[in-house]
């Protein structure tokens, strides 16, 4: 079906229609240093796949900076056929894998950085733990010494998801000073060299020096705000202002440049966050709701098309065509320019626009 839509010209016509007065924002999390996309294909994409995406976007759209598109939006006229590239979390792999590809295609991009992870760029225990569970060849995790009540089967994907949930719960109950040791024990039980995962920096953020280097590289890479502690903005409530202040201060100190653009952590957002964003001088905020952005779209609920290695190239081209957004906007005209709030995590949220 997608093949027919592409070669009949439907995808091309839809792309042109949806971006004739609006711009797209594409979002990724990371480009694999090695084989992370095999285990976390919604979060990571292989360098080969990523380059295929950028080549397609370069040949199909004008790749613009967020700065340019927001300025056009403010002026009241958006140039047709534009796309903005964004990355979440400030992972080290962005510097090592994404940037060389972006440089080859002269493509600007935004990276939304979690400032606490930048300041303490060690591998996060919960992320390393998940890696161990999905990377192991073991068929069960023997629970001795990790606080779980029984051995956890790992034979199927659903087994591993259940084990992940259970072991992460145990990790959450472990004192902060003991979390790395907890992960080491799990890794040993699963036959995984946790030290090697940490050394390869699969799950570390860019350091303060690396962020500074990137900011001053060639002016094409903008380092912006993804919160200080990566806690969803809705849950923070009255503490959101302090989190924004800490994040902005750290990013601006590292880059020497203004940081005024925000990405909602975990994708959760509501209108209740807007006062804090405005009070802290935030210019724009991106969501994970899909579709194009127009002059009429509020700057604090910009839509994005999220991508990862789970999508084939044809599926990606279908997503950026905007066909599903067009259908949604016809069925729900009030949501044409501004998306619905997102108050539930991805598995529990049936709305995408």
Say if residue 237 is in the same domain as residue 166.
Answer: no
In a domain, 335, yes or no: yes
Which of these, 286, 289, 240, lies nearest to 261 by C-alpha position? 286
Which of these, 277, 289, 271, 278, lies nearest to 337 by C-alpha position? 289
Q: What is the pLDDT of residues 28-73, one digit of tens each?
A: 999 999 999 999 999 999 999 999 999 999 999 999 999 999 999 9
Say if residue 188 is in the same domain as residue 273.
Answer: no
Task: Determine the Cα–Cα distance for residues 313 and 22; give it in Å rounded to an integer.
Answer: 23
Please tell me the total count of domains within the chain: 2
DSSP-derived secondary structure for 87-155: EEETBHHIIIIIHHHHHHTT--EEEEE-HHHHHT-SPPHHHHHHHHHHH---SEE--TTTT-SS-EE-S
Say if residue 130 is in the same domain as residue 241.
Answer: no
Say if residue 187 is in the same domain as residue 248.
Answer: no
Alpha helices in 122-232, H assignment, sequence order:
125-135, 157-172, 179-189, 194-199, 208-215
> Which residues are within 8 A (CB) of 164 and not within 5 positions of it... i.e. 6 or more apart?
129, 130, 133, 134
Angle at 351 between CA 314 and CA 336, to 5 degrees: 85
Reading the chain (353 residues) residue by residue, the pLDDT tens digits are: 888 888 888 899 999 999 999 999 999 999 999 999 999 999 999 999 999 999 999 999 999 999 999 999 999 999 999 999 999 999 999 999 999 999 999 999 999 999 999 999 788 899 999 999 999 999 999 867 677 767 899 999 999 999 999 999 999 999 988 999 999 999 999 999 999 999 999 999 999 999 999 999 888 999 999 999 999 999 999 999 999 999 999 999 999 999 999 999 999 999 999 999 999 999 999 999 999 999 999 999 999 999 999 999 999 999 999 999 999 999 999 999 999 999 887 667 777 78
Q: Are strands 261-263 and 284-286 parallel, antiparallel or unpaired?
A: parallel
In a domain, 353, yes or no: no
**pTM of the complete model:** 0.95
Task: Determine the Cα–Cα distance for residues 335 and 227; give it in Å rounded to an integer.
Answer: 27
26 DSSP β-pair partners: 85, 305
Q: What is the pLDDT of residues 305-316, one digit of tens each?
A: 999 999 999 999
Say if residue 183 is in the same domain as residue 218.
Answer: no
Residue span of the structural domain in which 147 resides: 125-199
Asked if residues 271 and 339 have their Cβ atoms less than 8 Å apart, the reply is no
Residue with tokens 């590292």: 254
């Amino acid at each position: 079906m997608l093949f027919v839509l592409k070669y009949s010209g439907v995808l091309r016509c839809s792309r042109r229609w949806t971006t004739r007065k609006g711009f797209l924002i594409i979002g990724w999390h990371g480009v694999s240093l090695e084989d992370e996309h095999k285990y976390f294909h919604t979060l990571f994409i292989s360098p080969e796949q990523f380059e295929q995406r950028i080549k397609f976007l370069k040949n199909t759209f004008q790749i613009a900076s967020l700065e340019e598109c927001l300025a056009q939006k403010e002026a009241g006229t958006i140039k047709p056929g534009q796309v903005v590239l964004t990355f979440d979390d400030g992972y080290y792999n962005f510097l090592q894998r994404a940037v060389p590809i972006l440089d080859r295609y002269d493509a600007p991009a935004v990276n939304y950085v979690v400032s606490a992870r930048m300041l303490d760029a060690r591998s996060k225990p919960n992320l390393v733990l998940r890696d161990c569970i999905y990377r192991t060849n073991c068929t069960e995790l023997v629970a001795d010494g990790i606080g779980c009540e029984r051995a956890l089967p790992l034979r199927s994907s659903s087994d591993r998801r259940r084990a992940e949930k259970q072991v992460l719960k145990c990790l959450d109950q472990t004192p902060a000073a003991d979390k790395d040791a907890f992960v080491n024990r799990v890794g040993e039980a699963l036959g995984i060299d946790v030290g090697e995962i940490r050394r390869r920096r699969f799950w570390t953020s860019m350091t303060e020096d690396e962020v500074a280097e990137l900011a001053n590289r060639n002016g094409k890479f903008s380092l912006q705000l993804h919160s200080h502690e990566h806690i969803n903005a809705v849950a923070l409530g009255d503490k959101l202002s302090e989190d924004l202040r800490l994040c902005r201060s750290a990013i601006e100190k590292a880059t020497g440049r203004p940081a005024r653009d925000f990405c909602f952590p975990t994708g959760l957002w509501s209108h209740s966050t807007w006062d804090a964003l405005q009070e802290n001088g935030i210019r724009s905020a991106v969501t994970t709701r899909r579709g194009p952005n127009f002059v009429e779209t509020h700057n604090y609920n910009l839509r994005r098309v999220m991508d990862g290695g789970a999508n084939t190239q044809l599926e990606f081209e279908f997503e950026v065509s905007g066909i599903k957004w067009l259908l949604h906007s016809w069925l729900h005209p009030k949501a044409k320019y501004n998306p619905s709030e997102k108050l539930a995590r991805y598995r529990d949220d049936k709305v995408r626009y």
